[in-house]
Amino acid sequence: MNATLTVAVIGAGPVGLAAAAHLAERRLPFVVLEAGDSPAAAIREWGHVRLFSPWRFDIDAAAARLLADTGWARPGDDRLPTGAQLADDYLQPLADLPVLKDNIRYGTRVAAVTRLGLDRLRGTGRDETPFLIRLADGEDLVARAVIDASGTWRTPNVLGASGIPAHGETAAAAYVESSLPDVLGRDRDRFTGSRVLVVGAGHSAANTLLALAELGSGTTVTWAIRAASPARAYGGGTGDALPARGALGTRLRESVESGAIELMTGFGIQRVSPGPDGVVVSDGTREITVDRIVSATGFRPDHTLASELRLDLDPIVGSTRALAPLIDPNEHSCGTVPPHGVAELTHPESHYYAIGVKSYGRAPTFLLATGYEQARSVVAALAGDWEAAREVRLDLPETGVCDSNPIGSGDGCCS
Protein backbone atom coordinates (compact mmCIF):
# COMPACT_ATOMS: atom_id res chain seq x y z
CA MET A 1 0.00 0.00 0.00
CA ASN A 2 1.15 3.54 -0.73
CA ALA A 3 3.19 4.57 2.31
CA THR A 4 2.40 8.24 1.70
CA LEU A 5 -1.25 7.67 2.59
CA THR A 6 -2.42 8.88 5.98
CA VAL A 7 -2.69 6.81 9.13
CA ALA A 8 -6.09 7.60 10.66
CA VAL A 9 -6.31 7.71 14.45
CA ILE A 10 -9.83 7.65 15.89
CA GLY A 11 -10.05 9.54 19.17
CA ALA A 12 -8.01 12.36 20.74
CA GLY A 13 -7.90 10.93 24.22
CA PRO A 14 -4.63 10.04 25.96
CA VAL A 15 -3.93 6.88 23.95
CA GLY A 16 -5.00 8.36 20.62
CA LEU A 17 -2.75 11.37 21.19
CA ALA A 18 0.07 9.05 22.25
CA ALA A 19 -0.28 7.27 18.91
CA ALA A 20 -0.21 10.67 17.17
CA ALA A 21 2.97 11.62 19.06
CA HIS A 22 4.72 8.43 17.97
CA LEU A 23 3.54 8.93 14.38
CA ALA A 24 4.86 12.50 14.47
CA GLU A 25 8.23 11.35 15.81
CA ARG A 26 8.51 8.82 13.01
CA ARG A 27 7.34 11.41 10.46
CA LEU A 28 4.45 9.28 9.25
CA PRO A 29 1.50 11.26 7.84
CA PHE A 30 -1.55 11.02 10.10
CA VAL A 31 -4.90 12.53 10.97
CA VAL A 32 -6.69 12.33 14.32
CA LEU A 33 -10.49 12.21 14.10
CA GLU A 34 -12.12 13.38 17.34
CA ALA A 35 -15.88 13.50 17.84
CA GLY A 36 -15.66 16.04 20.66
CA ASP A 37 -14.75 19.71 20.44
CA SER A 38 -11.49 19.35 22.36
CA PRO A 39 -8.89 16.72 23.23
CA ALA A 40 -9.85 14.37 26.05
CA ALA A 41 -13.54 15.24 25.71
CA ALA A 42 -14.64 12.12 27.59
CA ILE A 43 -12.12 12.63 30.40
CA ARG A 44 -13.39 16.15 30.97
CA GLU A 45 -16.79 14.67 31.83
CA TRP A 46 -15.24 13.04 34.90
CA GLY A 47 -12.65 15.70 35.50
CA HIS A 48 -13.51 15.91 39.21
CA VAL A 49 -12.16 12.39 39.82
CA ARG A 50 -8.59 11.87 40.99
CA LEU A 51 -6.65 9.08 39.30
CA PHE A 52 -4.98 6.47 41.45
CA SER A 53 -2.06 6.37 39.00
CA PRO A 54 0.56 9.09 39.64
CA TRP A 55 1.82 11.25 36.79
CA ARG A 56 4.77 8.97 36.01
CA PHE A 57 2.31 6.36 34.70
CA ASP A 58 0.06 8.89 32.95
CA ILE A 59 2.44 10.48 30.41
CA ASP A 60 3.52 8.81 27.19
CA ALA A 61 7.25 8.84 26.45
CA ALA A 62 7.01 10.21 22.89
CA ALA A 63 4.53 12.85 24.01
CA ALA A 64 6.88 13.89 26.81
CA ARG A 65 9.76 14.26 24.35
CA LEU A 66 7.72 16.46 22.02
CA LEU A 67 6.48 18.61 24.91
CA ALA A 68 9.93 18.93 26.46
CA ASP A 69 11.17 20.63 23.30
CA THR A 70 8.68 23.45 23.97
CA GLY A 71 9.72 24.06 27.58
CA TRP A 72 6.65 22.32 28.99
CA ALA A 73 6.85 21.89 32.76
CA ARG A 74 6.30 18.22 33.50
CA PRO A 75 4.15 17.63 36.60
CA GLY A 76 5.77 15.90 39.55
CA ASP A 77 5.96 12.17 38.91
CA ASP A 78 4.46 11.18 42.27
CA ARG A 79 1.48 13.55 42.23
CA LEU A 80 -2.00 12.21 41.53
CA PRO A 81 -3.82 14.25 38.87
CA THR A 82 -7.55 14.67 38.55
CA GLY A 83 -9.11 13.99 35.18
CA ALA A 84 -9.31 17.75 34.61
CA GLN A 85 -5.61 18.16 35.37
CA LEU A 86 -4.74 15.30 33.03
CA ALA A 87 -6.67 17.06 30.28
CA ASP A 88 -5.55 20.63 30.98
CA ASP A 89 -1.94 20.15 32.07
CA TYR A 90 -0.90 17.40 29.67
CA LEU A 91 -3.32 16.49 26.89
CA GLN A 92 -4.32 20.02 25.86
CA PRO A 93 -0.67 21.22 25.57
CA LEU A 94 0.14 18.05 23.65
CA ALA A 95 -2.74 18.53 21.22
CA ASP A 96 -1.75 22.19 20.75
CA LEU A 97 1.75 21.35 19.53
CA PRO A 98 2.00 22.45 15.88
CA VAL A 99 3.18 18.99 14.86
CA LEU A 100 -0.10 17.56 16.16
CA LYS A 101 -2.56 20.45 16.06
CA ASP A 102 -2.69 20.76 12.29
CA ASN A 103 -3.53 17.07 12.02
CA ILE A 104 -6.42 16.91 14.52
CA ARG A 105 -10.00 17.34 13.34
CA TYR A 106 -12.50 18.07 16.12
CA GLY A 107 -16.24 17.60 15.82
CA THR A 108 -15.55 14.71 13.47
CA ARG A 109 -17.44 11.51 14.22
CA VAL A 110 -16.52 8.30 12.39
CA ALA A 111 -19.57 6.37 11.19
CA ALA A 112 -17.87 3.39 9.51
CA VAL A 113 -14.54 1.95 8.45
CA THR A 114 -14.22 -0.44 5.51
CA ARG A 115 -11.93 -1.12 2.55
CA LEU A 116 -12.25 1.08 -0.52
CA GLY A 117 -14.56 -0.79 -2.91
CA LEU A 118 -14.54 -4.00 -0.84
CA ASP A 119 -17.00 -5.41 1.66
CA ARG A 120 -16.05 -7.99 4.28
CA LEU A 121 -16.56 -10.95 1.93
CA ARG A 122 -14.13 -9.85 -0.79
CA GLY A 123 -10.54 -10.88 -0.19
CA THR A 124 -8.64 -10.39 -3.44
CA GLY A 125 -6.12 -7.55 -3.03
CA ARG A 126 -7.57 -6.69 0.34
CA ASP A 127 -4.29 -6.02 2.14
CA GLU A 128 -3.18 -3.60 -0.60
CA THR A 129 -6.48 -1.70 -0.68
CA PRO A 130 -6.74 1.54 1.33
CA PHE A 131 -9.27 1.92 4.11
CA LEU A 132 -12.38 3.98 3.44
CA ILE A 133 -13.46 6.00 6.47
CA ARG A 134 -16.99 7.38 6.30
CA LEU A 135 -17.70 10.32 8.59
CA ALA A 136 -21.09 11.07 10.14
CA ASP A 137 -21.50 14.11 7.85
CA GLY A 138 -21.05 11.93 4.75
CA GLU A 139 -17.45 12.83 3.97
CA ASP A 140 -15.18 9.97 2.91
CA LEU A 141 -11.48 9.70 3.76
CA VAL A 142 -8.90 7.12 2.71
CA ALA A 143 -6.05 5.85 4.87
CA ARG A 144 -3.32 3.22 4.76
CA ALA A 145 -3.97 2.18 8.37
CA VAL A 146 -6.51 2.79 11.12
CA ILE A 147 -5.75 3.03 14.84
CA ASP A 148 -9.01 3.01 16.78
CA ALA A 149 -8.49 4.64 20.18
CA SER A 150 -12.09 5.77 20.58
CA GLY A 151 -12.53 4.15 23.99
CA THR A 152 -15.71 2.84 25.60
CA TRP A 153 -17.07 5.81 27.58
CA ARG A 154 -20.16 6.14 25.36
CA THR A 155 -21.14 2.48 25.70
CA PRO A 156 -21.68 1.66 29.39
CA ASN A 157 -22.88 -1.71 30.56
CA VAL A 158 -26.50 -2.11 31.61
CA LEU A 159 -27.89 -2.57 35.11
CA GLY A 160 -29.40 -5.96 34.33
CA ALA A 161 -27.50 -8.85 35.88
CA SER A 162 -27.73 -11.00 32.74
CA GLY A 163 -25.92 -8.59 30.45
CA ILE A 164 -29.11 -7.22 28.92
CA PRO A 165 -31.29 -4.43 30.33
CA ALA A 166 -33.34 -5.38 33.37
CA HIS A 167 -37.09 -5.39 32.97
CA GLY A 168 -38.18 -1.74 33.02
CA GLU A 169 -34.63 -0.39 32.85
CA THR A 170 -35.24 1.63 29.68
CA ALA A 171 -38.46 3.14 31.04
CA ALA A 172 -36.64 4.08 34.26
CA ALA A 173 -33.83 5.94 32.47
CA ALA A 174 -34.81 9.24 34.13
CA TYR A 175 -33.82 7.78 37.50
CA VAL A 176 -30.44 6.44 36.37
CA GLU A 177 -27.16 8.34 36.49
CA SER A 178 -24.16 7.39 34.40
CA SER A 179 -20.88 6.43 36.02
CA LEU A 180 -18.94 9.03 38.05
CA PRO A 181 -21.42 11.87 38.60
CA ASP A 182 -19.94 14.94 40.29
CA VAL A 183 -21.72 14.31 43.58
CA LEU A 184 -19.93 17.04 45.53
CA GLY A 185 -19.90 19.56 42.69
CA ARG A 186 -22.14 20.27 39.72
CA ASP A 187 -24.52 17.35 40.45
CA ARG A 188 -24.82 17.99 44.18
CA ASP A 189 -28.44 19.18 44.12
CA ARG A 190 -29.64 15.96 42.48
CA PHE A 191 -28.28 13.83 45.30
CA THR A 192 -28.61 15.89 48.48
CA GLY A 193 -31.25 14.38 50.76
CA SER A 194 -31.96 11.53 48.33
CA ARG A 195 -32.02 7.76 48.64
CA VAL A 196 -29.27 6.64 46.29
CA LEU A 197 -28.41 3.15 45.06
CA VAL A 198 -24.93 2.63 43.56
CA VAL A 199 -24.55 -0.51 41.45
CA GLY A 200 -21.10 -1.91 40.66
CA ALA A 201 -17.95 -3.17 42.35
CA GLY A 202 -15.12 -1.20 40.75
CA HIS A 203 -13.31 2.04 41.43
CA SER A 204 -15.94 4.25 39.83
CA ALA A 205 -18.49 2.80 42.24
CA ALA A 206 -16.10 3.31 45.16
CA ASN A 207 -15.49 6.95 44.30
CA THR A 208 -19.20 7.68 44.01
CA LEU A 209 -20.04 5.84 47.23
CA LEU A 210 -17.43 7.75 49.23
CA ALA A 211 -18.58 11.07 47.79
CA LEU A 212 -22.19 10.28 48.68
CA ALA A 213 -21.18 9.29 52.21
CA GLU A 214 -19.37 12.61 52.54
CA LEU A 215 -22.36 14.52 51.17
CA GLY A 216 -24.51 13.73 54.20
CA SER A 217 -27.46 16.14 54.49
CA GLY A 218 -29.98 13.33 54.83
CA THR A 219 -28.62 11.38 51.86
CA THR A 220 -28.88 7.61 52.33
CA VAL A 221 -26.46 5.41 50.41
CA THR A 222 -26.92 1.77 49.41
CA TRP A 223 -24.35 -0.24 47.51
CA ALA A 224 -25.46 -3.28 45.49
CA ILE A 225 -23.04 -5.88 44.14
CA ARG A 226 -23.62 -9.24 42.48
CA ALA A 227 -20.77 -10.93 44.34
CA ALA A 228 -21.31 -12.68 47.65
CA SER A 229 -18.49 -10.67 49.25
CA PRO A 230 -17.05 -7.17 48.75
CA ALA A 231 -13.49 -8.37 49.48
CA ARG A 232 -12.35 -8.04 45.87
CA ALA A 233 -13.70 -4.50 45.65
CA TYR A 234 -11.75 -3.54 48.78
CA GLY A 235 -8.50 -4.39 46.98
CA GLY A 236 -5.02 -4.76 48.39
CA GLY A 237 -5.08 -2.11 51.11
CA THR A 238 -1.61 -1.21 52.33
CA GLY A 239 -0.12 -3.93 50.11
CA ASP A 240 -1.14 -2.14 46.92
CA ALA A 241 1.77 -0.78 44.87
CA LEU A 242 -0.41 2.24 44.11
CA PRO A 243 -1.12 3.64 47.60
CA ALA A 244 -4.10 5.72 46.45
CA ARG A 245 -5.76 2.65 44.99
CA GLY A 246 -5.25 0.73 48.21
CA ALA A 247 -6.51 3.65 50.29
CA LEU A 248 -9.67 3.86 48.21
CA GLY A 249 -10.63 0.30 49.07
CA THR A 250 -9.74 0.79 52.72
CA ARG A 251 -11.93 3.89 53.01
CA LEU A 252 -14.78 2.07 51.32
CA ARG A 253 -14.56 -0.86 53.74
CA GLU A 254 -14.49 1.50 56.72
CA SER A 255 -17.56 3.37 55.44
CA VAL A 256 -19.48 0.11 55.09
CA GLU A 257 -18.42 -1.11 58.52
CA SER A 258 -19.43 2.22 60.11
CA GLY A 259 -22.89 2.05 58.56
CA ALA A 260 -22.43 5.15 56.38
CA ILE A 261 -22.97 2.88 53.38
CA GLU A 262 -25.44 -0.02 53.42
CA LEU A 263 -24.15 -3.02 51.48
CA MET A 264 -26.36 -5.51 49.61
CA THR A 265 -24.42 -8.54 48.38
CA GLY A 266 -25.58 -11.15 45.90
CA PHE A 267 -27.91 -8.56 44.39
CA GLY A 268 -28.34 -9.13 40.63
CA ILE A 269 -30.85 -6.63 39.26
CA GLN A 270 -33.79 -8.20 37.43
CA ARG A 271 -36.39 -5.42 37.42
CA VAL A 272 -36.49 -1.62 37.72
CA SER A 273 -39.96 -0.15 38.27
CA PRO A 274 -40.77 3.57 38.56
CA GLY A 275 -43.44 4.21 41.17
CA PRO A 276 -45.12 7.00 43.15
CA ASP A 277 -42.46 6.88 45.88
CA GLY A 278 -39.40 6.60 43.62
CA VAL A 279 -38.03 3.66 41.66
CA VAL A 280 -38.20 0.08 42.93
CA VAL A 281 -35.16 -2.09 42.17
CA SER A 282 -35.53 -5.85 42.56
CA ASP A 283 -33.34 -8.93 42.25
CA GLY A 284 -36.40 -11.16 42.10
CA THR A 285 -36.41 -11.79 45.84
CA ARG A 286 -35.42 -8.53 47.52
CA GLU A 287 -36.30 -5.00 46.53
CA ILE A 288 -35.27 -1.48 47.48
CA THR A 289 -36.98 1.83 46.73
CA VAL A 290 -34.68 4.76 45.91
CA ASP A 291 -34.73 8.18 44.31
CA ARG A 292 -31.58 7.83 42.16
CA ILE A 293 -29.54 4.93 40.76
CA VAL A 294 -25.88 5.34 39.81
CA SER A 295 -24.89 2.73 37.25
CA ALA A 296 -21.20 2.01 37.81
CA THR A 297 -21.29 -1.36 36.07
CA GLY A 298 -18.44 -0.70 33.65
CA PHE A 299 -18.25 -0.33 29.90
CA ARG A 300 -18.05 -2.40 26.75
CA PRO A 301 -16.56 -1.69 23.30
CA ASP A 302 -18.72 -0.88 20.29
CA HIS A 303 -17.27 -2.41 17.12
CA THR A 304 -20.21 -1.36 14.94
CA LEU A 305 -18.13 1.09 12.92
CA ALA A 306 -15.81 -1.79 11.93
CA SER A 307 -18.54 -4.27 11.02
CA GLU A 308 -17.25 -4.56 7.42
CA LEU A 309 -13.72 -5.39 8.60
CA ARG A 310 -12.38 -8.84 9.36
CA LEU A 311 -11.99 -8.81 13.12
CA ASP A 312 -11.09 -11.82 15.23
CA LEU A 313 -12.59 -11.12 18.64
CA ASP A 314 -12.42 -13.43 21.62
CA PRO A 315 -15.99 -14.68 22.26
CA ILE A 316 -15.74 -14.06 26.01
CA VAL A 317 -13.57 -11.01 26.68
CA GLY A 318 -14.19 -9.24 23.36
CA SER A 319 -10.53 -8.36 22.75
CA THR A 320 -8.37 -9.98 20.09
CA ARG A 321 -8.01 -13.71 20.73
CA ALA A 322 -4.28 -13.38 21.37
CA LEU A 323 -4.79 -10.66 23.99
CA ALA A 324 -7.71 -12.24 25.85
CA PRO A 325 -5.78 -14.69 28.09
CA LEU A 326 -3.33 -11.94 29.05
CA ILE A 327 -6.03 -9.61 30.40
CA ASP A 328 -8.64 -12.04 31.72
CA PRO A 329 -9.93 -10.36 34.91
CA ASN A 330 -10.36 -13.77 36.51
CA GLU A 331 -6.59 -14.17 36.35
CA HIS A 332 -5.17 -10.63 36.29
CA SER A 333 -5.40 -7.27 37.99
CA CYS A 334 -4.19 -4.10 36.26
CA GLY A 335 -0.64 -4.65 37.45
CA THR A 336 -0.28 -8.30 36.48
CA VAL A 337 -1.18 -7.91 32.80
CA PRO A 338 1.87 -9.07 30.80
CA PRO A 339 3.54 -6.70 28.32
CA HIS A 340 1.88 -6.83 24.92
CA GLY A 341 1.91 -4.92 21.66
CA VAL A 342 1.26 -5.22 17.97
CA ALA A 343 1.53 -9.03 17.90
CA GLU A 344 -1.37 -9.42 20.34
CA LEU A 345 -3.41 -6.59 18.81
CA THR A 346 -3.33 -7.81 15.20
CA HIS A 347 -6.59 -8.78 13.47
CA PRO A 348 -6.99 -10.68 10.19
CA GLU A 349 -7.71 -7.18 8.79
CA SER A 350 -4.17 -5.97 8.29
CA HIS A 351 -3.27 -2.46 9.49
CA TYR A 352 -6.40 -2.07 11.60
CA TYR A 353 -5.73 -1.87 15.34
CA ALA A 354 -7.97 -1.12 18.31
CA ILE A 355 -5.79 0.18 21.13
CA GLY A 356 -6.37 1.61 24.58
CA VAL A 357 -9.32 0.59 26.70
CA LYS A 358 -11.28 -0.47 23.61
CA SER A 359 -8.70 -3.16 22.92
CA TYR A 360 -9.54 -4.78 26.28
CA GLY A 361 -13.13 -5.63 25.38
CA ARG A 362 -14.99 -6.09 28.66
CA ALA A 363 -11.89 -6.76 30.76
CA PRO A 364 -11.58 -4.10 33.50
CA THR A 365 -7.81 -4.39 33.78
CA PHE A 366 -6.64 -1.41 31.75
CA LEU A 367 -4.13 1.23 32.81
CA LEU A 368 -2.91 4.19 30.74
CA ALA A 369 0.66 2.94 30.70
CA THR A 370 -0.56 -0.21 28.96
CA GLY A 371 -2.23 1.84 26.23
CA TYR A 372 0.86 3.95 25.70
CA GLU A 373 2.99 0.85 25.12
CA GLN A 374 0.37 -0.45 22.69
CA ALA A 375 0.55 2.83 20.75
CA ARG A 376 4.35 2.74 20.62
CA SER A 377 4.44 -0.86 19.39
CA VAL A 378 1.73 -0.41 16.74
CA VAL A 379 3.30 2.74 15.31
CA ALA A 380 6.72 1.08 15.20
CA ALA A 381 5.16 -1.73 13.16
CA LEU A 382 3.50 0.73 10.78
CA ALA A 383 6.91 2.36 10.32
CA GLY A 384 8.41 -1.03 9.44
CA ASP A 385 10.54 -1.09 12.59
CA TRP A 386 9.65 -4.61 13.63
CA GLU A 387 12.49 -4.92 16.10
CA ALA A 388 11.08 -2.03 18.12
CA ALA A 389 7.51 -3.23 17.60
CA ARG A 390 8.24 -6.63 19.10
CA GLU A 391 10.40 -5.36 21.97
CA VAL A 392 7.52 -4.69 24.32
CA ARG A 393 8.33 -3.60 27.85
CA LEU A 394 6.00 -2.64 30.65
CA ASP A 395 6.50 -2.05 34.36
CA LEU A 396 3.17 -1.83 36.12
CA PRO A 397 2.34 -1.48 39.83
CA GLU A 398 0.76 -4.70 41.07
CA THR A 399 -2.20 -5.48 43.32
CA GLY A 400 -5.63 -3.95 43.34
CA VAL A 401 -8.86 -4.51 41.50
CA CYS A 402 -9.20 -2.56 38.30
CA ASP A 403 -12.32 -0.87 37.06
CA SER A 404 -13.73 -0.44 33.59
CA ASN A 405 -13.22 3.30 33.64
CA PRO A 406 -11.54 4.92 30.62
CA ILE A 407 -8.47 5.28 32.77
CA GLY A 408 -9.21 4.43 36.35
CA SER A 409 -10.10 6.50 39.32
CA GLY A 410 -8.45 7.30 42.56
CA ASP A 411 -8.49 8.43 46.12
CA GLY A 412 -11.59 10.58 46.08
CA CYS A 413 -13.86 12.65 43.94
CA CYS A 414 -12.28 15.96 44.63
CA SER A 415 -8.86 17.55 44.92
pLDDT score recorded for residue 259 = 95
Whether 175 contacts 293, CB under 8 Å: yes
Most confident by average pLDDT, 15-24, 248-257, 386-395: 15-24
DSSP state of 111: E
The reply to whether 311 falls in a domain is: yes
Q: Taking 80 as the threshold, does the pLDDT of residue 410 lie above it? A: no
Co-location of 54 and 186 in the same domain:
no
pLDDT at 235: 75
Query: Of 151, 136, 123, 172, nearest to 301 (Cα)?
Result: 151
Number of domains in the chain: 2
Share above pLDDT 70 across residues of the chain, in percent, rounded to a whole number: 92
Residue 313: beta bridge partners?
Answer: 320
Domain CATH number, residue 28: 3.50.50.60
The verdict on 42 and 138 lying in the same domain is yes
pLDDT, one tens digit per residue, over 226-249 is: 999 998 888 766 666 667 777 888
With contact defined as beta carbons under 8 Å apart, do 35 and 71 qualify? no
Q: Is the dihedral of CA 231, 411, 43, 336 positive or negative?
A: negative
- Clarify whether residues 138 and 262 are in a common domain: no
Who wins on pLDDT, 53 or 97?
A: 97
Q: For residue 305, what are the domain limits?
A: 7-154+299-390
Please tell me whether residues 258 and 321 are part of one structural domain.
no
Residue pLDDT, tens place only, 31-72: 999 999 999 999 999 999 998 889 999 999 999 999 999 999
| The last residue of a domain, from among 264, 295, 326 | 295
**Do residues 261 and 193 both lie within one domain?**
yes
Alpha-carbon torsion (364, 307, 162, 190), positive or negative: positive
Residue in 337, 414, 347 with CA at minimum distance from that of residue 378: 347
Give the C-alpha separation, 109 to 116, whole Å.
19
Residue-level pLDDT at 242: 66
Domain boundary among 295, 319, 337: 295
In the predicted structure, residue 330 carries a pLDDT above the cut 90: no
Helices 14-25 and 61-68: crossing angle in degrees, nearest 10, is 70
Is 251 found in the same domain as 372? no
- Would strands 176-177 and 145-148 be described as parallel, antiparallel, or unpaired? unpaired
Domain boundary among 295, 329, 356: 295
What pairing do the DSSP bridges indicate for beta strands 131-135 and 110-115?
Answer: antiparallel
